[in-house]
């Protein structure tokens, strides 16, 4: 069975039942295919990691603002909420947010190869690598909350 045939079958099944909530969930599930949301989230959060390192290198010249990590956490919540509006689930957003640290470290390594001693030696000074778990939890909570709210709003409107 191809993904298109599966999607058509799910939509036909949803239209043939009397349970409105189950039918809506089935129609929404037909539009999703596996873990593609985690890939999108990983790309977005890796880009966020790259952006933070590049801003630290070229805008602040190794003198990062004191509240940089707080800004990263707020941005991760905003990105998680935006992913939730795009129907990305909480688990997918949280898993994708774990790509923040690899994106940031790859940028640090690339800058060290290009700039030598002028390059940063860590993505965010004063923050340990375990801090990325906080970003993942914030993104997952934001995506899950927004997705649940939009699902309920869709039910009310239907």
- pLDDT for 33: 54
Distance from chain centroid for Cα 114: 29
pLDDT in single tens digits along all 158 residues of the chain: 666 777 788 778 778 888 878 777 777 776 665 567 889 999 999 999 999 888 888 876 656 677 888 889 999 999 999 999 988 889 899 999 999 999 999 999 999 999 888 888 888 777 777 888 999 999 999 999 998 898 888 778 86
CA distances in angstroms from 49 to 19, 80, 127, listed in the order given: 44, 14, 13
Q: What is the DSSP letter of 127?
A: -
Residues, the chain: 158
């Amino acid at each position: 069975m191809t993904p298109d045939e599966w999607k058509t079958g799910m939509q036909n099944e949803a239209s043939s039942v009397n349970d409105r909530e189950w039918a809506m969930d089935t129609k929404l599930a037909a539009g999703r295919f596996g873990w593609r949301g985690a890939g999108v989230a990983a790309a977005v959060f890796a880009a966020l990691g790259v952006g933070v390192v590049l801003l630290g290198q070229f805008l602040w010249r190794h003198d990062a603002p004191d509240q940089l990590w707080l800004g990263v956490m707020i941005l991760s919540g905003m990105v998680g909420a935006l992913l939730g509006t795009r129907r990305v689930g909480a688990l997918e957003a949280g898993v994708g947010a774990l790509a923040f640290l690899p994106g940031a470290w790859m940028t640090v390594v690339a800058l060290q190869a290009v700039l030598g001693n002028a390059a940063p030696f860590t993505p965010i000074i004063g923050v340990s690598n375990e801090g990325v778990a906080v970003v993942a939890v914030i993104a997952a909570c934001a995506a899950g909350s927004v997705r649940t709210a939009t699902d309920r709003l869709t039910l009310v409107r239907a």
